[in-house]
Structures are given as C-alpha cells and as structure tokens.
Structure 1
Amino acid sequence: MEKIYNNPWFMKVVALVFAILLFAYVNSSNNRGQTTSSVDGLSATTTDTILDVPIVVEIDQDNYYVTGFPETVSVEISGPSSIVLNTKTTKNFDIVATDLDSLGVGTHTIELVAEGLSPQLKYKISPQEVTITIEEKKVETFSVDVEFDKSLIASGYEAGTPTINYETVELTGTASTIDQVSAVKVVVNEEEGITKDIVQTLPILVSDAYGKKLDVDLNPSEVTVNIPVNPTSKEIPLVLNQTGTANDGFTYELGLIIKRIQTFQFKQIMKC
C-alpha cells in the first residue's frame, strides 16, 4: 500500500482527478452566475405606453399650411425599467415630422420619428405613418355677422342693433380653403319670449356656400354679442303746468280727463 502512495503515476492520477473536479465546480458556478445575471437583466426590462403626445411639425409656417396630422399620437417604449419610468414621467422627447419644406405642395405620406429618447429605449409610434396635404398658406380678414331670429322677441318689445366686441376675424388656412369662405357668423340661441337684453359669448362659424364647415384657424375664435331689447311703448303721467295770469274777474281750474298716456318707441313727446 505504501508503495502505491509513493508511486509517482498514482500521484499524477490523483492530481488529475482533483483538477477535473475543480474545473467542473468552477464551470458550474459560472453557469449559475450567468443564469442569474440573465434573469436579473430580464426582470429589469419593461414596456409602457405614453398617450397624447403632440406632434412637432417642421415646416415654413409663414408660407405653407399643413392638414392631415392627428392632434396627438401614442408612443410605446421598452427598455430598462428606470429609464422607461423616467421617460414616461418627464416626457422629455418629441415626436417630429421633419423637413416638410423639401416635399413641396401636394399630398404626401410621411413617417413620424422620435427625437430625444434614450438610445437604450426601443419605441413604436401609433400611428407611425400619416398622410398630409401641404398647400400655400393664406391669411385674410372677414367681417363677422350676427344671426338672430327676431321672432323670439316677446310681444310689445323689439330688438336693437346687435354689437360685438370684435367686428372682424382673421382666418388662416390653405389658399384653396380661404377662397371657399362664404359665411363668417355667430348664431344667437335663445328661447321664445325675450324681454331682456341678450349678452352671449359665441364661437365664430366659418362655412362655404353650401353651409359646410371649413377647416381654418381663427383669431379670435369667439366674440361677445350684445343685443338690446326694449319695450315698444311706455306709459307716462301727464302733468299740467299753468303759464301766464288769468283775466280780471275770471278764475280757472286746470284738470285732465286722461291722466296718463303711452309713448311708442320713446320718440313721441306730448306738450300741453
């Protein structure tokens, strides 16, 4: 037995076995470490959606007018949880329609892009593509009319001339749309039997010759309308004032059979 222990080949075999066992242990530990790291990395990745993100339109707004964009888009982002949470909270990025000037007048389908997002994030915009129309811009000033049904005034009353705080409105839109403008007005809505002044703040309506609403920007977009309502007649008392002196031997007593009269539209004045 002692000879076996002293045999150099025996010692080499034992050393080899220990080396194999040590290698297997270290390799198993590394594999376990890699699996944990992978699981940890997976748990740190998340996906979330940011709603109602406005679109930044890059175009020469002095010369061009663009239609077709949705008011907002939604953006789905995925990546490290902390970055996703921070991005959703701060919304420190833009959804941009870039370099539209190079497209020129016409209808185009473009792709929206995100600017300012962390490079560690993946994103998806909904909708990703939009079809827009670029036209020459036109600005024109129009008078604002007041539409009011005078039959709603109560009997014995009449409506005066309407006044508004802004008599004109500036319309901005495509040249083809501005050229279609036929009516710019506010519509006063009231119930029947009106006896008091009307004061309303109303939106300005812009339509074509067929009554179809037109897509234009308005400045201002609403006006305040004031319509005076007055009675058509008013009852007032009659008062007699004596002038001069009576002749000698005569006395006079002043009196009225009719004590009150009505004035119409405040224009008739009676003198006695």
Structure 2
Amino acid sequence: MDRLFNSHWFVRVIAFFVALMLFAMVNQDNLGNQPSVLPTISNSSYTLEEVELQVNYNEDEFVLTDAPSTVQINLSGSRSALAYFQMMRPAYEVFVDATELEEGTHRAQIQYRGFPSELSVSVTPTTANIELQEIQTSSFPVQVDLINTDNVEEGYTVGTPIVTPINVDVTNAREWLSYVESAKVFVDMDGADGTVEDEYPVHIYNSDGLELEMDSNPNFVSVRVPVTSPNKMVPVNIKRTGKLKAGLSIENIELEPGDVTVYGPSDYIENLESLGGVEIDLSKIDESTTVELEIPVPEGAERVEPESISVDVTVGEEEERELSSVPLTIMGTSDDKTAVFQTEQPALINVTAFGTEDQLNRMSTSDFQAYVDISEASAGNKELPIEFNGPQNIRFETEDSDALLTITDESE
C-alpha cells in the first residue's frame, strides 16, 4: 500500500478526480441540461433567523429611540451556492439608511449588502418603523450615599463628603432624559479610620429609585469623605521665656484663637485639659506686637488644629509699687511634715511689684500671695526661695529672696 501512495501516477489520478468533482459542483447549474457523469442538483432555499438590523443615523444630533432589532432573511439559489454560503459565511449587513432623516417617526426601507450574487435575497419585513429624537444634555448634582457608616472605627466621626466635580452631564433623547431624577455615587465606610478618598462610578436613577442605563460625563467623580479621630477643644498655655528690656512691662497677652482642637486616641483625649509647649521669647519684644506661634503636636496626639495661633502682646512703661507687711505663707506641709520660720525670719515681708500703671492700679493685696514651698525639702534648718502667686503680667521682688525655716519630718 505504501508503494501505491508513493506512486506519482496514483496521486495525479486522485487529484484529477477531485478537481473534476469541484468543477462539477460549481458549474452544476450550467451543466444541468447537458450530458454529465454527475447527477443534476436543483435549486433550494435557506432562512436566516434573527439577523441583526443596523440603523445608520446622525448620532451627533439624534438618538434612536425605537427600531426593530432583528429581521428574517430568506435566501434561494442552487444547493451548491447555498452550501458554499453556509460554509464560508461571508460578511453581510442588513441595514436602514436614516442618515438624512430628521427627528420623528419614519417608515424606512430595509436594505442589505454582502450576500453572494448567485443567491436571491428577500427580507421580512421589507420596511422598518424607526423613531429619532433630538439629543439633549442636562446637568445633575452628584449625591453621595455613604454606606456602613456605623462600622467606622470606634470614636471616629464621618464628615460631609466633598465631590469633584459637583455636577455631571447626562446626554440622551429628550423623552428619556425626562426620566432622570438623580445622579449618585456610593462610598463604603466600613472600617474607615481616616479620610476616605477615591474615584467612584456615577449611577443614574429615576424617581422610583430604579437605575437607568445611561452614561454621564464624567462617568467617574472624585469623592473625599473626612473621617476625624476623637478630639477635644482645650485652652493653650503660653510659656514665657527671656525677659523684656529694662523699663518695659507686659500690659496684656491675648491669644487668637485661645482654644485649639486636639485629635488623638480616646484614652489620650479624655485626660487632656490644656495644651502646653507653646513658648514666647520676651527678649525679642521691644514694643506692642503680634507674634505668630506654631502649635506643636504633643506626644500621643495625632494632630492639632489650627497649626498656629496669633499672640497679641501689649507692652507699656514699667512702674513699681511698694507693698509692706505682706504675709509669708509656708506651703507643702502635711501631717508628718511641718515647718516654722526661724527667729530672724520675719513672717511679714516687704514686696515690690513691677508692672504697667494700669496693671498695678487694678491689683489688690488679695490678688497675690508670697510663699515658701517645703514639699521637696528635707528636715532641718533650710534656706528656701520666696515665691509668688499673682497676676501673670506683674513680677514681684523682695529685699531677701530666700526665707529661713526649720523643717520637721516625722516620716524620716
């Protein structure tokens, strides 16, 4: 058998008969009335169901609101031509040419192209009712629906969403556009512990809350949802460093704002009463002025708002006032720890107060206190500094800056 297939004459005979059969199939209609070694093949028909109907129209000005989606195609011709069509499936098109039609309802002829010329083609139906509507564009504000807001981290607060752009355009047929009620985006807040920011798709809805198959311009918008940690508003304590130039005194220091908002974990915020760490250097001030001071973020906090405050400093000419027979108080005593002044230490002292004339005139003896703090001192005869509690913008001096005491501590 291998020798037979390797024979050139055998291959040539087989090729001849294959070519003869193909020639007969293609030309069988012409050979039908002539003597032939092959049987005659008669005409037949073939039906194409649900063939897509293409409507060509001016898409820049109109929207196709009504048209049949499919038609039926009937093909007739020789069986060989039909067989060839079924086997090769050539590209064909069934369409309505509506490029010259204006807005309204029209009855248009259905056309076709791309079918083999050997086949007869008929379309059912032969015409199509189509409707064109003028394109219109309307603008709609974007609504943000926040979902799972109950699932943000404990203690965190969800703020008002910020959308960019705030409006989107919807372009469609006039009638369909009238059904649009809203444009929405949905933001999932599940587990959020900080600001949520991303691009989200826009959905179009009618008045019944049903989503419409319409696109917007743009299709995506940027949404930023602030999520703030636990926070507390507390006053700012200003620490004064340095000394004013000789002859000047502080008349008033005013903070704007006087309170700031501190953000951080709940356990930190609950125990926070004031914010320190803000310093003003008095040595750099030689006249009434306004100083901008940055607010440091204390350890344990996340952030502080605002990040800086304005400090209005009013200075005036320094005056002095002599205060006689001021009681000297001992502070820091307890059941075990007591103290008495030594015999050479008077319990009443003379004090000089320095400040502006207005500050001194408004001060009374009940506004300040001279004292000695023994809380950190050990038992025995001690010489401890005299300190003062009084108006913040007034400083106090005594002739002797230290007091002599004898301290007894029974716990030692």
Would you call these one fold, judging by a TM-score over 0.5? yes
Q: C-alpha offsets along residues 210-250 of structure 1, whole Å, 9 cap, x if unaligned?
A: 33444544333334544343423315797698989xxxxxx
Could you say which residue in structure 1 is the equivalent of 2:259?
none
Confirm whether residue 207 of structure 1 aligns to residue 205 of structure 2: yes
Could you say which residue in structure 2 is the equivalent of 1:58?
56
Equivalent-residue separation in structure 2 for 1:165 and 1:262 (angstroms): 31
CA distance 1:215–1:268, shift in 2 (3 Å): closer
Could you say which residue in structure 1 is the equivalent of 2:396?
none
Contact 2:98–2:108 (Cα < 8 Å) also in 1: no
CA distance 1:136–1:153, shift in 2 (3 Å): same
What's the RMSD between the two structures over aligned residues? 4.8
Contact 2:198–2:222 (Cα < 8 Å) also in 1: yes
Could you say which residue in structure 1 is the equivalent of 2:40?
38
CA distance 1:169–1:87, shift in 2 (3 Å): farther
Equivalent-residue separation in structure 1 for 2:119 and 2:220 (angstroms): 44
Could you say which residue in structure 1 is the equivalent of 2:186?
187
Equivalent-residue separation in structure 2 for 1:241 and 1:116 (angstroms): 87
Could you say which residue in structure 2 is the equivalent of 1:23?
none
Could you say which residue in structure 1 is the equivalent of 2:305?
267
Q: C-alpha offsets along residues 119-165 of structure 1, whole Å, 9 cap, x if unaligned?
A: 23455779987654322221233332322244443322233453456
Could you say which residue in structure 2 is the equivalent of 1:144?
142
Equivalent-residue separation in structure 1 for 2:98 and 2:211 (angstroms): 30
Equivalent-residue separation in structure 2 for 1:144 and 1:218 (angstroms): 11
Unaligned runs of 5+ in 1: 1-29, 245-258
CA distance 1:243–1:198, shift in 2 (3 Å): closer
- 1:151-170 → structure 2 map (5 Å cutoff): 151-164=150-163, 166-170=165-169
Name the stretch that deviates more: 55-64 or 122-131.
122-131
Higher RCO (Cα < 8 Å, 6 or more apart): 1
Equivalent-residue separation in structure 1 for 2:107 and 2:136 (angstroms): 23
Q: Secondary structure of 2:171's partner?
A: strand
- 1:187-266 → structure 2 map (5 Å cutoff): 187-188=186-187, 190=188, 192-199=190-197, 201-214=199-212, 216-232=214-230, 233-234=263-264, 266=304
Instruction: Give 1:234's aligned amino acid.
Output: G
Could you say which residue in structure 1 is the equivalent of 2:333?
none
Contact 1:238–1:260 (Cα < 8 Å) also in 2: no
1:59, distance to aligned residue in structure 2 (A): 2.4
Contact 2:142–2:185 (Cα < 8 Å) also in 1: yes
TM-score (normalised: structure 2): 0.40
CA distance 1:38–1:231, shift in 2 (3 Å): farther
More helix by share: 1
Name the stretch that deviates more: 197-206 or 124-133.
124-133
Equivalent-residue separation in structure 1 for 2:304 and 2:75 (angstroms): 73
Q: C-alpha offsets along residues 153-208 of structure 1, whole Å, 9 cap, x if unaligned?
A: 332223345345654333111223323432112122x3644325445554322223
Equivalent-residue separation in structure 1 for 2:74 and 2:304 (angstroms): 70
Instruction: Give 1:98's aligned amino acid.
Output: D
Contact 1:47–1:84 (Cα < 8 Å) also in 2: no
Q: C-alpha offsets along residues 91-124 of structure 1, whole Å, 9 cap, x if unaligned?
A: 3x33312236547414x56564322333234557
Equivalent-residue separation in structure 1 for 2:193 and 2:203 (angstroms): 27
Equivalent-residue separation in structure 2 for 1:163 and 1:185 (angstroms): 13
Equivalent-residue separation in structure 1 for 2:186 and 2:58 (angstroms): 35
1:62, distance to aligned residue in structure 2 (A): 3.5
Equivalent-residue separation in structure 2 for 1:154 and 1:194 (angstroms): 6
1:87, distance to aligned residue in structure 2 (A): 3.7
Instruction: Give 2:217's aligned amino acid.
Output: N
More strand by share: 2
Equivalent-residue separation in structure 2 for 1:221 and 1:125 (angstroms): 40
Contact 2:182–2:205 (Cα < 8 Å) also in 1: yes
- 1:56-135 → structure 2 map (5 Å cutoff): 56-69=54-67, 79-88=81-90, 91=91, 93-99=92-98, 101-102=100-101, 104-106=103-105, 112-121=110-119, 132-135=130-133
Instruction: Give 1:143's aligned amino acid.
Output: P
Contact 2:200–2:220 (Cα < 8 Å) also in 1: yes
Number of equivalent positions: 219
